């Protein structure tokens, strides 16, 4: 990961969830955009929006504005939106927000 960006961290997220045995899709299409990652569990769906030197609040706002949860609202599962910000100066996750719909 020499040229670090949001896509690099998306790849790491995918690998982690895949190794845990979770079903995950990246760049999942919705009506007006694409969620960075969607994790499907038997009783819940987790929609992730990842930011690089942004904010977790900005990520949550994007999930809401682009309707990333809408395709899953009729499934009867618990819905979670998760905004994650990677801080390049600290080289770690700067902040995150988890909200249940």
Which residue ranges make up each domain of the chain? Answer: 4-100
For the chain, the average pLDDT equals 88
pLDDT for 16: 84
Q: Which residues pair with 37 in a beta bridge?
A: 26, 48
The CATH number of 4-100 is 3.40.1350
With residues binned 3-state (H G I as helix, E B as strand, rest as coil), the percentages for the chain, rounded to 5, are 25, 45, 30
Residue 29 has pLDDT above 50, yes or no: yes
pLDDT for 85: 94
What's the rounded Cα separation, in Å, for the pair 71 and 21? 23
- Render pLDDT for 35-48 as a digit per residue (tens, 0 to 9): 989 999 999 999 99
Strands (E), the chain: 23-30, 33-40, 44-52, 78-87, 92-100
- Render pLDDT for 69-100 as a digit per residue (tens, 0 to 9): 999 999 999 999 999 998 888 888 899 999 99
pLDDT for 4: 63
């Amino acid at each position: 990961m020499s040229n670090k960006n949001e896509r690099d961290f998306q790849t790491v997220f995918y690998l982690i969830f895949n190794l845990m045995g979770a079903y995950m899709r990246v760049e999942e299409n919705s009506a007006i955009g694409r969620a960075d990652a969607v994790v499907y569990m038997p009783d819940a769906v987790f929609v992730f929006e990842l930011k690089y030197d942004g904010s977790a609040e900005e990520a949550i706002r994007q999930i809401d504005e682009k309707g990333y949860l809408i395709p899953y609202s009729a499934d009867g599962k618990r819905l979670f939106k998760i905004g994650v910000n990677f801080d390049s100066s600290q080289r770690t996750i700067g902040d995150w927000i988890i909200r249940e719909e």
